[in-house]
Amino acid sequence: MMEKMLTKTPALDLPTRPRRLRATPGLRRMVRETALNPADFIYPIFVTHGQQIRNPIASMPGIAQLSVDEAVREAEKTAELNIPAVLLFGLPAHKDPVGLENFAPDGIVQQAIRAIKQELPELVVITDVCLCEYTDHGHCGLLDDHGHVLNDETLPILIDVAVSHADAGADIVAPSGMMDGMVAALRGGLDVSGYSQLPIMSYAVKYASAFYGPFRDAADGAPKFGDRKTHQMDPANGREALREAALDVDEGADFLMVKPALAYLDIIRQLRDHFPELPLAAYNVSGEYAMLKAAAANGWLDEEKAVMETLTSIKRAGADLIITYHALAAASWLR
Ligand code: PBG
Q: What is the dihedral of CA 204, 76, 170, 273, to 10 degrees?
A: -20
Nearest in space to 125 (alpha carbons), one of 167, 75, 91, 190: 75
At 144, the amino acid letter reads D
Question: Can you give the residue ranges of every domain in the chain?
Answer: 36-334
What is the pLDDT, as a whole number, of residue 7?
A: 66
293 C-alpha vs ligand 1 centroid, how far in Å? 19
Q: State the alpha helices, DSSP H only, in 120-234.
A: 155-168, 182-192, 213-218
Intra-chain end-to-end CA distance of the chain, in Å: 48
Torsion from C-alpha of 34, 36, 41, 43, nearest 10 degrees: 130
Kindly report the pTM of this predicted structure: 0.95
Q: In this predicted structure, what is the pLDDT of residue 93?
A: 96
The string of pLDDT tens digits covering residues 187-208 is: 999 999 999 999 999 999 999 9
> Which amino acid is present at 53?
I
SS3 call for 144: coil
pLDDT at 224: 87
Q: Whose CA is nearest to atom 1 of ligand 1?
A: 176
| 224 CA to centre of ligand 1 in angstroms | 15
Which residues lie below 8 Å from residue 29, measured CB to CB, with a gap of 6+?
A: none
**pLDDT given at position 164:** 98
- pLDDT < 50 stretches in the chain: none
For domain 36-334, give the fold. TIM Barrel (3.20.20)
CA 119/CA 106 separation, integer angstroms: 18
Atom of ligand 1 lying closest to residue 211 CA? 14
Helices and strands (H and E) in the chain: how many: 12, 10
Nearest to 64 by CA among 50, 84, 85: 50
Residues near ligand 1 (Cβ within 6 A): 128, 130, 132, 176, 212, 215-216, 221, 228, 285-286
115 Cα–ligand 1 center, Å: 24
pLDDT of residue 11: 80
| Nearest Cα to Cα of residue 331 among 36, 29, 75 | 36
Atom 6, ligand 1: residue with shortest CA distance: 176
C-alpha dist (Å) from residue 88 to 9, 94, 179, 184: 62, 18, 20, 22
Question: CA 117 from chain center: how many Å?
Answer: 20
The neighbour count for residue 56, using CB atoms within 10 Å, is 12
